[in-house]
Chains A and B, each alone.
Chain A
Amino acid sequence: MKSFTTTLAAAAVALTLAAPARAEPVTVGMITTLTGGGAGLGIDVRDGFMLAVKQAGNKDLNVFIEDDQRKPDVAVQLADKMIQENKVDVLTGIIWSNLAMAVVPAAVGQGKFYLSPNAGPSALAGKGCDKNYFNVAWQNDNLHEAAGAYANTTGYKKAFILAPNYPAGKDALTGFKRFFKGEVAGELYTQLGQTDYAAEIAQIKASGADTVFFFLPGGMGIAFTKQYAQSEVGLPLIGPAFSFDQGILGAVGEAALGVKNTSQWNKDIDNETNKAFVESFQAEYGRLPSLYASQGFDTANLLLSAMAKASVKDADAFRAALEAADFKSTRGAFKFGSNHHPVQDIYVREVVKEGDVITNKIIGTALKDHADAYAAECKM
C-alpha cells in the first residue's frame, strides 16, 4: 500500500526554493492534461505556471501536479485526493470545460479556491458562480463575441458559422451571434472529432456568405483550415485564438496565413511583463509560448500576489486579495468583474510569417474592457 502514498514522487513536484518568506504556506493542486491528444495545452499551462513560480522563488508555495488524462471521472477523483490527502488550499490547471464542470462546484463547495487557467463555461459565470471561483483566462464566449464584433467593423454582412456539436460549440456560435449584426447565411454543427469537412465546405461555397466564422479546437481546426485552403473558396476566415495558437500554427502551416483570430493575449503585446515572459519562456523551454502558457503564467502570478497580501487561512482576506488582482499581467491591464471573470481587452490577430516561423501579429482591438454576458445572473 506504500505505493499509493509515493505516487506523487515524479508527477507531483513539491517545490522548495529560497525566497523571502511570508508566514502562511499555500498548497496548490494542479489537475491538468499531460497525456493523450490534448496534452499540449496542459503542458503549456503547467510550464507557464511553473515558470512564474520559479521566478518568484517563494518557498511557501507547494505545487502538486497530476494528470487527468482528459477524463472527467479521473479529474474528480484527483480533486478528492488533493483535497483529502494533500490538504490543498487552492486548485487550478483544468483545461476543458466538461472537466471544470465536474470538479469546480464540488471543490469550491468544500471551501477551496479554484483559479481557472483556461476553461470558462457559462454555467460557472452566471447562476453557478461562486465566491471562491476565479477565472484568469476568459469566459468561454468572450473570444467568439470579439470575433462577432470584429466582423461588424470590417463590414461583413453575411457570415457562415460552424462549430462542433457540444456545449462549448453552442456557446461559441451563441457568442458570435450576440455581437454580429449581419445576417447568418448558414449555421452548422459538426461532429466532435470530425476530420473531413468536404460536406461543410460545399455548403459554405453554396451559401453566398461573405465570411466564415468557425470554432474547431485542436485537430479539427487543423484539418478544416487545410482542407478549406485546398478548396480555394476564398472567403475570409475568422476564428477564436484556439485554432491558431502557437502550438497548432506549426502544424497548419501556410494554410493559416492571413486568417484573423481573436485573443486576449499575444506575444507582441507591448509591456515589460510580457516581453520578459516571452523571453524567459523561450529560454526555459526552447519554444514560443502559447496563449495557454500566458494564462498559466498569469494564474501563478495572481496567486503569488494574493499570498503576499493575506494568509490563505483567512479565506475572506485571501479572497479580497485575489479580487484586487494586484499583479503584473502579460496582458497589461487586468481586473476581475463582479462574477470573478476577467474584464479585459480582446485583440484581433493576423497569422503572419516572421522569417521561417508562422505566428500571430496584433492588428487591432476588437473589444475594450470586455466583460461577459452572464455577470448579471451571478449572485454571490
Chain B
Amino acid sequence: MSGALFAEQLLNGLQFGVMLFVMAAGLTLVFGVMGLINLAHGSLYMLGAFACAAVAAATGSFVLGLAASLAAAAIAGVLVETLIIRHLYARDHLDQVIATFALILVFTEGTRWAFGSFPLYLNLPDALSGSVSLPGGITYPLFRLLIIGVGLAIAAGLFLLVNRTRLGMRIRAGESDREMIAALGVDIGRLYTIVFALGAALAGLAGALVGSVQAVQIGMGEPVLILAFVVIVVGGIGSITGAFVGAILVGVTDTLGRFLLPQAFGLIMDASSATSVGSALASMLIYVLMALVLVFRPTGLFGKPA
C-alpha cells in the first residue's frame, strides 16, 4: 500500500463524512431544536431526489431540479408538521417514533404510486462532471469536491442561522425554555413549523445532490436515515458542531475500515476469505464506534450532559 493511496482514502473518508453531514443536517436541526425523532427524514430525502429528477427531466435544467427538491420537501415538511407532528411535541418519544415510522410507509409507497417502480434518471450537469488534479498526483472527481463545498456551506449557514439571526435566537430560546419563549409572545407553533420545513428542505436538497451520483429509487432514504442517526448521536444531539465532527468521524472510520480491514486479514488468511471477513467486520464498524462513544460519553461527543 502506497502513501498516496492512503492519503486518497483519507480524503475519501473526509469527503464521505461531509456527505453524511449533508444527509444529516436537516435531521440534526429538527432533532436538536424540537427534540423530535423524525424517522421520515429519509423519506423527505427520497422525495427531494424524485422531485429533482422529475423536474430536471422535464425542463432539462439541474438547477431547476434542485429548486424543485427544496420546494417539494419543504411543502411536504409543512404539511407533515401541521397535520401530524404538531400534535406529538408533548408526547413521549415513543409516539413520535411510531408516527414517523407510519409516515415512511406512506411516503415510500406514495412515491412509488406517483413515480412508478423503476429508478429514475438524475445526473450532474456536464459543468460539474469529470475529475480535477489535486496536488500529490491525485485525480479527484469534481462532484466530490462540490459536495465538500456544499457541506461546508450548510454547516456555516446553520451555524450563522442559529447563532447570529433573530430566528436562531428564538430557536435557542425555545430549546432551553419552551414556556418562557411562549410567554414572551413568540409564536412557538410557527417557529416549529419553520424549523421543520427548513429541516425537510435540507433533507430534500441532500437527496437531490447525493441522488445525482447515486441511485434515485424507492427506499433510497432508509440507509441514509440510519446513517444520519448514527452521525448525530455520535456527535451529540442538538449540536451542529457535534453533527459535523460526528459525520467526519463516521465517514473516516467507515472508509478506512472498508479499505484496511480486508488487507489486515489478508496477512493471516487467503485473499478471498480475507476480503469477505474483513468487509463483514467493516460493515459493523460504525455501529461499534457509536456504541463506544455512548459508553464513554452517554450524550455523545458534543451533547449537553443529561
A residues adjacent to B (C-beta < 8 A): 35-37, 39-40, 43, 165, 170, 173, 184, 187-193, 195-196, 198-200, 202-203, 206, 218-220, 222-223, 226-227, 230-232, 247-248, 250-255
Contact = CB atoms under 8 A, between A and B. Distances in A.
B280 A251 contact: no
Give chain B's interface secondary structure class. helix
A199 B9 contact: yes
Interface size class of B (residues with CB under 8 A): 35 or more
Interface stretch (B70-78, B135-143, B154-162, B241-249): B135-143
Given A189-B279, A219-B119, A250-B121, A195 B214 contact: yes
Contacts of B276: 165, 170, 189
A184 to B, nearest CB: 8
Contacts, number: 130
B280 A165 contact: yes
Contacts of A189: 262, 275-276, 279
Nearest to A162: B275
Interface in B94-125: 108-109, 112, 117-124
A253 B120 CA distance: 10
B280 A187 contact: no
A222 B119 contact: yes
B258 interface: yes
A231 B141 contact: yes
Give chain A's interface secondary structure class. helix
B64 interface: no
Contact of B130 (A37, A39, A232): A232
Q: Identify the 10 closest CB pairs spanning chains A and B, nearest first.
A: A219-B215, A37-B219, A251-B119, A222-B215, A198-B12, A223-B214, A39-B117, A230-B141, A40-B117, A189-B279
Nearest to A227: B213
Nearest to A174: B272
Interface in B212-232: 213-220, 223
Contacts of A223: 213-215
A219 B220 contact: yes
A189 B2 CA distance: 21
Given A36-B219, A165-B280, A230-B131, A219 B275 contact: no
B255 A231 contact: no
14 contacts: A35-B109, A37-B217, A39-B112, A40-B118, A165-B283, A188-B275, A192-B283, A196-B214, A198-B144, A202-B8, A219-B119, A222-B119, A227-B141, A252-B121
A220 B131 CA distance: 21
Contacts of B33: none
- Among B129, B141, B258, residue most surrounded by chain A Cβ atoms (within 10 Å): B258
Nearest to B280: A165
B209 interface: no
B134 to A, nearest CB: 12
Interface in B281-302: 282-283
Given A43-B117, A184-B271, 11 more contacts: A35-B109, A165-B276, A165-B279, A195-B223, A199-B259, A219-B220, A222-B119, A230-B129, A230-B131, A232-B130, A251-B122
B129 to A, nearest CB: 6
B5 interface: yes
B192 interface: no
Contacts of B220: 37, 195, 219
Interface in B242-266: 255, 258-259, 262
